[in-house]
Amino acid sequence: MRQTMREGFFYSCLLVALAGLLAGIAHAQNARLAPTPPMGWNDCTFFSEKNLTEALVRAEAHAMATNGMKAAGYRYVNLDAGWEGLRDAHGNILPNSQFRNMKALGDYIHSLGLKFGIYSTPGPWVCGGAYTGSYMHEAQDARTFASWGVDYLKYDYCTANGVYRPDEIQSAYRKMYEALQSTGRPIVFSLCEYGWEQVWRWGTSVGGNLWRTAGDDQNNYNRMAYIGFDQDGLEKYAGPGHWNDPDILEVGNGALTANEEKLQMSLWSILAAPLLAGNDLRTMSPQTLAILINREVIAVDQDPEGIEGHRVAEEGPLEVWMKPLSDGSRAVGLFNRETGEGRITVNFNDIGIHGPARVRDLWEHRTLGIYQGSFSATVPTHGVVMVKVTPE
């Protein structure tokens, strides 16, 4: 009896170890695909679906490759809804008349040293019902995407709620993940279901590399701020290979002030969020480009430790957020969410630093000095002071 019990205990331990090993392999697989938050461009916030053309995508890709964005880390050129046509007699999805050759488009993007992203939905149609979705064609579409050289799939739940129950959301996403896996091509899998059913708790189990945590961002300060500052508490679900996604950047789309654009770029970087520009890369101003390619701010977002930041202090509209970095320093954002200047202080004890620390302003690109116990700054309306605090 004791021998049988020992054998049972041994095999139980073996199974637990094997399960842990497999889980580790799955995690490593995800981490290889998106070890840091994806950076790139998506057309959906600035361009309408009717304006999306192959020529436009090629021009945006060329701009990204030559204007400093590629050098700063931006890689993905992502099409949203509007490329889809109908299906042929064999059920293969075809692009619409605005796109001549998807394989050639992917090859062009790859020739620039960039990556090719595409869009679909587990529903029968994309949002609005104008274009074809992947419902009942998941494996077929995955093979088609792989043959085109796709590197990133945004999978938008959209009309899927007409064919799946809420308790079937996970299985709908799992179906496409398994289809992508079967192609043998590494494709980043972006779950777009607006934070329904607490996706951050199960996104990795269906193969997600990132998942939307809220509804669509919009080109106005109030919506952007509401989504961004509402991310606190989700940080434990993010890390290398699996990221919380508060949606696309509105930097350069015309409605935000320069201070508000810096606020979004700072907050998204502290959140370790994907940095997907949503503006017209061909015509943006030098000021917009400078915000998008600020190397010191991007380094916070792309820190290899992959820790998402969180709120550490709040006083009315004045907030302090902190993200630990792999070199032992802290990225800190002092945010003023309302009108009028505000004086904001970060206490070093609140961010795990005890003793003097060197403070560097990441937007001004200058070291401010050594501070004892705290650092304070005056922050403009809807603005930010973003610093790196390093223990001395």
Per-residue pLDDT of the chain (392 residues; tens, 9 = 90+): 434 434 443 444 443 344 344 344 344 334 589 999 999 999 987 887 678 999 999 999 999 999 999 999 999 999 999 999 999 999 999 999 999 999 999 999 999 999 999 999 999 998 877 889 999 999 999 999 999 999 999 999 989 989 999 999 999 999 999 999 999 999 999 999 999 899 999 999 999 999 999 999 999 999 999 999 999 999 999 999 999 999 999 999 999 999 999 999 999 999 999 999 999 999 999 999 999 999 999 999 999 999 999 999 999 999 999 999 999 999 999 999 999 999 999 999 999 999 999 999 999 999 999 999 999 999 999 999 999 999 99
Q: What is the pLDDT of residue 26?
A: 42
Other Cβ atoms less than 10 A from the Cβ of 356: the count is: 12
Number of H helices, E strands in the chain: 10, 18
The domain defined by 38-301 folds into: TIM Barrel (3.20.20)
- CA dist 262 and 258 (Å) reads 6
Q: What is the pLDDT of residue 46?
A: 82
3-state percent breakdown (helix, strand, coil) of the chain, nearest 5: 40, 25, 35
CATH fold match for the domains 38-301 and 310-391: no
SS3 138: helix
Q: Is the dihedral of CA 244, 161, 180, 203 positive or negative?
A: positive
For the entire predicted model, the pTM comes to 0.91
Q: What is the pLDDT of residue 260?
A: 98
Q: What is the pLDDT of residue 19?
A: 39
Tokens of 87: 């299906």
Q: What is the pLDDT of residue 29?
A: 39
Helix (H) or strand (E) holding 47: none
The CATH code for residues 310-391 is: 2.60.40.1180
Q: For the chain, which residues make up each domain, given as ranges?
A: 38-301, 310-391
Tell me the Ramachandran region of residue 55: left when phi exceeds 0, alpha when psi lies from -120 to 50, beta otherwise: alpha
Q: Are 384 and 263 in contact (CB under 8 A)?
A: yes
Q: What is the DSSP string of 84-135?
A: EEEE-TT--EEE-TT-S-HHHHHHHHHHTT-EEEEEE-SSSB-GGG-SB--T
The verdict on whether 156 is a catalytic residue reads yes
Question: Which residue is catalytic, options 156, 245, 280, 303?
Answer: 156
Q: Are 375 and 346 in contact (CB under 8 A)?
A: yes
Q: Which long-range contacts (CB under 8 A, 24 or more apart) does 102-106 make?
A: 102/148, 103/147, 103/148, 103/149, 105/54, 105/57, 105/58, 105/148, 106/148, 106/149, 106/150
Q: What is the pLDDT of residue 23?
A: 41
Backbone angles phi, psi at 150, to 5 degrees: -70, 140
Give the residues across from 313 on adjacent strands.
Answer: 320
Q: What is the pLDDT of residue 31?
A: 56
The verdict on whether 361 is a catalytic residue reads no
Q: Are 13 and 220 in contact (CB under 8 A)?
A: no
Q: Are 90 and 97 in contact (CB under 8 A)?
A: no
